[in-house]
């Protein structure tokens, strides 16, 4: 949701706010701005949506306002520019530039920026885009999104707390260096290749924004930021402004801070984007089921930086491994606990610490910051409203919050002491949900016990054995010159649970294969495979023997299994299921009106039934009518052109290309 400075001022003044029509702009209703503000906060408190984007702040830092204003962003809110444009992203692992002595390798960082930014610039012209308009704007403004990951690990390895003035000064200086040097590279490239096509109409606001970035770099606390990083950042911004004024700028945007969730794992990062660590030990839910434990690898280096001996570090690491927390670790000094604070768990960063970090680096980002501000489960609606207000006052372009357990399922969770995963609890007021959650916990506990005893239970694959005495039916069949018998055993509720197929006079090989096939089908039915699944797979399978049958409901079969599973479908599946599968009996096929086709007739009123002689003599000859053949749902697809074939005797013919199934 986007809000303007005018709306925020109305909230502060408790003034009225006009709701206007989408078209025409007429005032539809006036409401209290503060009441609307509380509704936004309440929605975010309940389900973490909506996030807020501060429209005035975004457009104040816009480099191309003379072309168009910024109306929206990508879903993660880090890329913000004109409509119908695109931006390719790339991120650097900050830990790769932290040297063994604890200093940041400024030269290597600048070199990496030059290489990566130049590569991104090349991609702009070589890339394909989803629409012509997006391609046009992307090549006209050449927006790039350089960023970084592993900031949280960098601060921890440097012995700095994420929620500290020193940590924010480090982050601001590094971000200022990254974007400032990227724009300097862009300006040098413009000196050789010319600025982007949209530069001339936006030269003044573009340079004004560069100067705003430069001026902000001089407001970083020199006493807290590393001198070599801050000096390099300020030099880069001076160079970017100077070269930009002389040559223009090759790229309308240079940097964003993306989430880097997936690429962070590939780059072996402990933390993603600008985020701190979620927890020193956390569990990631996998799409296919199960969890993956992710353990922070920066703790040993941070302990060495803080002066702990090897034995002390090993003891602390062992405690974390056993208790999934650093709180209470033997020998850990209390003043060092904030260094290892995370977004969740029992040693958390206050949610305002997240917002302050965003406010520290936002002045040095062309786009915005994709970040989640983690809040504890007991945070109030007022806390959410105040957080949004603080983000606006700090100049953040966009902010999104997540209150722990405000959604039914969350992909990442921390671990409690004792190794138990912190799961999404359900409030006691919802008795049904609470009962369901209790049942889930019981099943998960039972599953863990079974695994520990070596009995791996797979849900849905438990065999439901047939009763010792069961009802069964046997039917004889003939397909072409092959005769046989099928016996179907049933559960007490009438479901088929086993199938025995005996083929007479066909030799031991075919009889043995059919016996083995029967066992396979029977085991599948007893393990929960629906009969409809077998019907869908085996109907229309073609091999010899095939042809006419002695079954009045199924006159033609393309193979033994085709007939057997059609017969089972007729006996055990509902008409709607069979219709979906295309299995219909002879009587159903010859109905004047097929299923789902409404018969339409117009009654004759006051008309003579017998025509007169004059009518007969004057009546023109009837033109032959074209009869549309109804779709045969059990017909196979043509192996040459892919269209549905039509039955022709005991075979099929394609009405499109003329191919046949083998008998014409």
Residues involved in catalysis: 74, 76, 78
Rounded to whole angstroms, the Cα distance separating 300 from 298 reads 6
**Cα 473–Cα 479–Cα 485 angle in degrees, nearest 5:** 25
Runs of H (alpha helix) within 298-430: 299-305, 310-323, 351-361, 381-393
Residue whose C-alpha is closest to residue 248's, from 215, 213, 217, 202: 202
DSSP state of 637: B
How far apart, in whole angstroms, are the C-alpha atoms of residue 541 and residue 536?
A: 10
Report, in this order, helix, strand and coil percent for the chain, each rounded to 5: 40, 15, 45
> Strands 16-20 and 27-32: what pairing?
antiparallel
φ, ψ of residue 230 to 5 degrees: the values are -65, -40
- Lookup result for tokens 């090993």: 314
Angle at 303 between CA 300 and CA 308, to 5 degrees: 120
* DSSP one-letter code for 569: H
Measured CA angle at 120 (ends 114, 126), to 5 deg: 140
| Residue partners of 532: CB distance under 8 A and separation at least 6 | 569, 573, 577, 581
Length of the chain: 664
Rounded Cα distance, 575 and 620, in Å = 45
As a whole number of angstroms, the distance between CA 545 and CA 414 comes to: 61
Using alpha carbons, select from 415, 451, 412 the residue that is nearest to residue 321.
415
Count of alpha carbons within 13 angstroms of residue 134, beta-carbon side: 10
Contact assessment for residue 373 and residue 332, using Cβ atoms and an 8 Å cutoff: no
């Amino acid at each position: 949701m986007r809000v303007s400075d005018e709306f925020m001022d109305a909230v502060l003044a408790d003034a009225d706010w006009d709701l206007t029509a989408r078209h025409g702009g007429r005032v539809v209703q006036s409401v209290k701005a503060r009441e609307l503000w509380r509704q936004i906060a309440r929605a975010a408190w309940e389900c973490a949506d909506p996030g807020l984007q501060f429209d005035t702040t975004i457009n104040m830092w816009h480099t191309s306002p003379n072309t168009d204003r910024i109306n929206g962003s990508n879903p993660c809110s880090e890329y913000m520019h004109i409509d119908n444009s695109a931006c390719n992203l790339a991120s650097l692992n900050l830990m790769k530039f932290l040297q063994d002595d604890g200093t940041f390798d400024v030269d290597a960082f600048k070199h990496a920026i030059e290489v990566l930014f130049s590569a991104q610039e090349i991609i702009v012209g070589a890339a394909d885009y989803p629409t012509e308009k997006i391609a046009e704007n992307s090549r006209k403004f050449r927006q790039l999104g350089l960023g970084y990951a592993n900031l949280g690990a960098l601060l921890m390895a440097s012995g700095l707390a994420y929620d500290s003035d020193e940590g924010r000064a480090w982050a601001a200086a590094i971000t200022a260096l990254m974007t400032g040097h990227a724009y300097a590279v862009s300006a040098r490239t413009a000196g050789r290749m010319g600025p982007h096509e949209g530069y001339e109409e936006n030269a003044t606001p573009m340079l004004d924004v560069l100067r705003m970035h430069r001026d902000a770099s001089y407001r970083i606390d020199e006493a807290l930021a590393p001198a070599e990083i801050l000096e390099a950042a300020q030099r880069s911004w001076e160079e970017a402004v100077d070269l930009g004024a002389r040559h223009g700028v090759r790229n309308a945007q240079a940097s964003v801070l993306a989430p880097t969730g997936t690429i962070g794992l590939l780059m072996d990062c402990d933390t993603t984007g600008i985020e701190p660590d979620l927890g020193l030990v956390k569990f990631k839910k996998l799409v296919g089921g199960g969890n993956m434990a992710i353990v922070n690898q920066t703790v040993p280096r941070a302990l060495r930086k803080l002066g702990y001996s090897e034995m002390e570090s090993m003891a602390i690491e062992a405690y974390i491994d056993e208790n999934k927390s650093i709180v209470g670790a033997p020998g850990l000094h209390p003043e060092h606990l904030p260094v290892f604070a995370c977004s969740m768990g029992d040693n958390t960063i206050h949610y305002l610490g997240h917002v302050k970090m965003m406010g520290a680096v936002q002045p040095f980002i062309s786009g915005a910051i994709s970040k989640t501000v983690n809040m504890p489960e007991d945070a109030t609606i007022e806390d959410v409203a105040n957080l949004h207000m603080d983000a606006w006052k700090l100049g953040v372009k966009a902010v999104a919050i997540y209150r722990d357990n405000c959604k039914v399922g969350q992909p990442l969770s921390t671990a409690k002491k004792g190794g138990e995963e912190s799961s999404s609890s359900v409030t006691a007021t919802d008795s049904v949900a609470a009962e369901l959650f209790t049942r889930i916990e019981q099943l998960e506990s039972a599953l863990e016990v079974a695994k520990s005893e070596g009995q791996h239970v797979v849900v849905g694959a438990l065999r439901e054995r047939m009763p010792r005495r069961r009802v069964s039916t046997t039917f004889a069949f003939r397909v072409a010159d092959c005769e046989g018998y099928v016996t179907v055993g049933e559960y007490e509720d009438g479901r088929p649970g086993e199938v025995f197929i005996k083929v007479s006079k066909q030799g031991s090989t075919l009889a043995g294969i059919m016996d083995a096939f029967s066992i396979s089908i029977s085991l599948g039915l007893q393990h929960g495979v629906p009969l409809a699944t077998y019907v869908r797979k085996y109907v229309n399978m073609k091999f010899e023997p095939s042809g006419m049958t002695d079954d009045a409901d199924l006159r033609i079969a393309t193979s033994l299994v085709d007939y057997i599973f059609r017969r089972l479908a007729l006996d055990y599946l509902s008409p709607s299921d069979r219709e979906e599968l295309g299995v219909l009996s002879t009587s159903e096929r010859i109905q004047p009106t097929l299923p789902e086709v409404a018969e339409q007739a117009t009654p004759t009123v006051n008309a003579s039934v017998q025509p007169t002689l004059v009518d007969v003599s004057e009546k023109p000859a009837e033109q032959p009518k074209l009869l549309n053949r109804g779709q045969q749902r059990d017909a196979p697809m043509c192996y040459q052109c892919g269209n549905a074939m039509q039955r022709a005797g005991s075979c099929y013919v394609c009405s499109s290309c003329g191919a046949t199934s083998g008998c014409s």
